[in-house]
Amino acid sequence: MTRKYFGTDGIRGRVGDYPITADFVLKLGWAAGRVLTRDSGSHKRVLIGKDTRVSGYMFESALEAGLISAGVDVDMLGPMPTPAVAYLTRAFRASAGIVISASHNPYHDNGIKFFAADGYKLPDSVELQIEQLLDQPLHTNRSEDLGRARRISDAVGRYVEFCKGTLPAGFGLSGYKIVLDCAHGATYSAAPKVFKELGAKVTTIGAAPDGFNINEGCGSTHMQPLQQAVLQQGADFGIALDGDGDRVLMVDHRGEIVDGDELIYIIAAYRARRQSGCTGVAGTLMTNLGMELALGELGIPFERTAVGDRYVIEALKKNHWHLGGENSGHVLCSDINTTGDGIVGALQVIRALADADVTLHDAKHGMSKFPQQMINVPRVKSIDLATDQQVKRAVLDAEQQLDGRGRVLLRPSGTEPLIRVMVEGEDDQLVDRLVHQIANTVRQRVA
C-alpha cells in the first residue's frame, strides 16, 4: 500500500497547509498513541522532543492532547536534537519517541517523525497502521483512563553525558580550537556543552534561536559563515549541524568544506586500522563514486541504498554493519546510536584525527571525489521521471557522453516539492554542462 501522509522522514510540509495543521496533528497523536503502545501493557509512555521553530509549541500541545486522549503518558523534553530523542526513548524504556521538526527546512515548515521503542525509525508497515487509524473517528478515553504529562528537566544533561560517553575514558579535546555552528536549532544548548566539557576551546555561532531563524543562512545548509569564522579564528576545524542535529558537515583549517562522504570515509579508515576492523559501509545513490573506490582500496565492502537514512539503517541491519550515511551529512554509527547523530559523528571524526595525528584537511584526501553536481528543480506538477520521453532522451544523451565514466540520477525529493538532478563524472566541465541540460529539460516538464 502507498503511504498517504508519511514521506521518507515522517510527515512534513508547510505549517498551516494540510496535514501540517493543529487538528491533524492532534489526531495523529491519538492514532500514533494507539498503534505504538499496543504491546506496552499498562506502561504506555511516549517522549516528545522538538526543534526551535515557533510552530513547535502548537504541535507539541496538539500531540500531547492526542496522546493523552488515547491513554498514553507523555514525557515532554522541550528543544532536543532528533538523535537525543532516539537515545532517550531507549534510556527511558518508553513505548516510542516523537520529534517535531522539519530538519534542514526553513522555519515555515514543520514535521513529525517517530521512533519505536528500540530507538529506530518506524517501518513502513507501522506507518501504514497509523495512517489507517487516522481514517477512523477519534475516541477520547474516559477520565480514569487518560494519560498524564510531565516535563523532563534534565533531558539535555542526559544527552550531553551520552555524547561524551561515546569516547574512551580519558579521551579529551584539549588543544583543539573549534568553531561550532548550531543552525539556531535543536543543538543550541547541548552541542556547546559537549565540546566544551571535553576540553576544546569553542567558538559558537548559530546558537540564538528566536523561532524564525532556524537554518537561516547558517548550519549545514549554509556553510559560508562557518568557513569565514574558522579562518578568522584560526581554528583547527569547524562543525556545522542542521536544525534538528541529525546531520553534520565540517570545515578544515583552510576553510574547505568536508562533506558527509568524506567524514564517513575518515571514520571507516580509522576503524579499518583497529583490530575490530570496519566490516562494511552503507551509502546511498547520492554517495560519491570516489568514496566507493577509496573504500574498495581498503578492502571495505560498500552497498548503495535508496536516498534516506532509514534505508541506510536497513542495509546496516541486514549486513550486520555499523557505519553508513549520506553526503548531506547523515553519519550513522549504529553501534553508538540508532539514527544519524551530528554531535556523535563529529566526535568520531575527531577521534580518528587524533589517532592518526593528522589534520582534517589531510585526512579527507584519503579519498578523491569525482566531480558531482546537483540542481534542485522546483516541481509544480508531477511527472513519471522513468517514462517521460523528453526526460528519458536527455538522460540517455548525458549517459552516452559520460561513456561509462559517470552517473546520472533523477529523483523526487521526499521532503520538499523538488526534483533533484545529479550528474557525476571525471570531467568537471562536462558534468556542469550535462547537469544544466537535464535540469532545463526537467524544468520544462514540471513547470
DSSP for 339-408, written as a single string: S--HHHHHHHHHHHHHHHT--HHHHHTTS-PPPEEEEEEE-SS---TTT-HHHHHHHHHHHHHHTTSEEE
What pLDDT shows up at residue 338?
Answer: 96
What pLDDT shows up at residue 378?
Answer: 94
The DSSP code for 307 is: S
**Dist CA 322 CA 337 (whole Å):** 10
CA 152 from centre of chain: 24
Helix (H) or strand (E) holding 229: helix 224-233
**Dist CA 183 CA 243 (whole Å):** 6
**Dist CA 223 CA 225 (whole Å):** 6
Q: Is the peptide bond before 371 cis (omega within 30 degrees of 0)?
A: no
Closest by Cα among 128, 49, 52 to 86: 49
> Do residues 93 and 163 lie in contact, with contact meaning Cβ atoms separated by under 8 Å?
no
What pLDDT shows up at residue 275?
Answer: 86
**Dist CA 375 CA 352 (whole Å):** 33
> Do residues 280 and 302 lie in contact, with contact meaning Cβ atoms separated by under 8 Å?
yes
What pLDDT shows up at residue 9?
Answer: 86
Look at residue 144 and give its three-state secondary structure.
Answer: helix
Q: Which residues are catalytic?
A: 103
Closest by Cα among 163, 206, 16, 12 to 100: 12
What pLDDT shows up at residue 132?
Answer: 95
What pLDDT shows up at residue 155?
Answer: 97
97 forms beta bridges with 47, 115
Across the beta sheet with 302-305, what order do the strands follow? 302-305, 281-284, 323-325, 331-333
Instruction: Indicate left, alpha or beta for 329 from its phi (over 0: left) and psi (-120 to 50: alpha).
Output: left
Q: Which domains does the chain have, with CATH numbers?
A: 11-153 (3.40.120.10), 159-166+176-256 (3.40.120.10), 259-364 (3.40.120.10), 372-446 (3.30.310.50)
pLDDT in tens, the chain (447 residues): 578 999 888 999 999 999 999 999 999 999 999 999 998 877 899 999 999 999 999 999 999 999 999 999 999 999 999 999 999 999 999 999 999 999 999 999 999 999 999 999 998 899 999 999 999 999 999 999 999 999 999 999 999 999 999 999 999 999 999 999 999 999 999 999 999 999 999 999 999 999 999 999 999 999 999 999 999 999 999 999 999 999 999 999 999 999 999 999 999 999 999 988 999 999 999 999 999 999 999 999 999 999 888 899 999 999 999 999 999 999 999 999 999 999 999 999 999 999 999 999 999 998 999 999 999 999 988 888 989 999 999 999 999 999 988 899 999 887 788 999 999 999 999 999 999 999 999 999 998
β-pairing verdict for 45-50 and 372-378: unpaired
Closest by Cα among 118, 342, 169 to 248: 342
Q: How far is CA 57 from CA 48, 50, 61, 154, 405, in A?
A: 11, 9, 6, 19, 50
CA 303 from centre of chain: 19
Q: How far is CA 155 from CA 78, 86, 447, in A?
A: 8, 12, 46
pTM given for the model: 0.92
167 forms beta bridges with none
First CA to last CA distance, the chain:
29
> Do residues 369 and 188 lie in contact, with contact meaning Cβ atoms separated by under 8 Å?
no
205 forms beta bridges with 181
Which cell is 398 given? Answer: 548525458
Counting Cβ atoms within 10 Å, is residue 348 exposed (0-12), middle (13-18) or buried (19+)?
A: buried
